Structure 1
Amino acid sequence: MGSKTAKGFGDRNELGPRPPNMTEAEAERHHKMDYYNNARGRFFGQYARDAGMPINEAYVQTTRWCLLSVNDGLLTTMKYPSTPSTRPSMTRTHQSLLVAAGLLLAGQAFMIAVFCFLFFPAVSHGFGPDAEVPEAEGNLLAAGSVGIGLILTALGGWVIARVIRSLARQTSAARPLATAVPVQMLLITATIADGWPLATALTSLLLTVLLASYICDRRLRSKKACELNQ
């Protein structure tokens, strides 16, 4: 069965009568939601077919992609106020870890901004006559410091925003957490090389919190996937 045939089956399924407990507007929204989600499912199926996957592998992979789309909030959904939600929510430990990660990341971003935008550019030409650095080299060091600071603070801000959204929506924060972990590893390496034990300790603490949050997040995703399979 190709994507066109699948589309025909899916579209005809939407032609059924409106449920008695739905208004016309709700039914229309429901149809649009199903059309969009069906299209995404056909995309996964067509991709597996074009890639030449065997049927069993295609079934496993497309099912996994659909579950990931549900967990990551990439599909269209509708809320029904009269129906209590049974979606698994974050534990208090998970929420506390994400809050701690966000606060630590905010503090780290502030310290990076102070160091990269203010302190290092101010001393990049040396502290005194005996430690002067050539102007061109000093300007290059200052520009590099600002560039690195911009990248790190922007990345930290993006991770913090995604963590806040995850807390508000009770959804997965795996992507921002997985992005932040290698960055913290690089920062730990840099602080060890420069001989900053306090910065190393604080960054190690942040890395530990991020890893613990990621583990809790994976458990939440697994729980959601299990409930979807039931």
Structure 2
Amino acid sequence: MNTLRHRSALLAVAGTALVLSLTACENGEGVKSTPAGTSSVTAEASDGKGTGTSDPTGSTDSAASKGSTGSTGSKGSAGSAGTTGADGSSGSTGKQASASTPVCTARDVTVTAAKEGGPPYTHLVLTAKNTSGHSCRLTGFPHIQFLESHKQDVPSVAKSKPAAPVVLAAGDPAYALVKLSDGGVDEDNEPVLAFSVMLEGDSTVIVVSAPGSGGVAVDPAKALTGYWTPELRNEADDF
């Protein structure tokens, strides 16, 4: 009896061990859980390496950003400050200065007339002298009317127009050549003792005395005037 109980007890223990081993095999948690754990660790490690390398590459990115600071090579745009070197355009400020100079009016100048050349006297020279005490700009040409019977202004000669504005300092003169006739005795010529002149931009009439005791002979159909200029020029003022 004792032997039988002892054997049955051993069988029971063995059966329990068998059941436990079979259960462990079915669950597969013991052996399989370990490599699964290691694979997840290696995945984290690879991720970690990714992030780990991202830190140094981040530093290389920062180096690349240094390359972007190399875009401070847009200091070449500071070369556009060289465009501020268009201070050479300050030369244009000289033009602006002349443009800002006030236009001469009848109050600023004294206009006189003199015969030009010798007989027959076919031309006059008008002189406009700045008597204002300040600089002024004389523009265009003199608007001349010789006779009461001819109200239209004497036509201007385009080729006599100066290239630059005529700026008169105090005391400076400007000149305009005026054609009176073709010369000689002509029935169309009329004696003129005085005539009217207006400056461009000013409606004030300036009365100018003709030179000589007998005045000058004017053919209204032939009369012409040049532009105001600092000095008479051989070709531009030949008409």
Scaled by the length of structure 2, the TM-score of the pair is 0.16
More strand per residue:
2
More helix per residue:
1
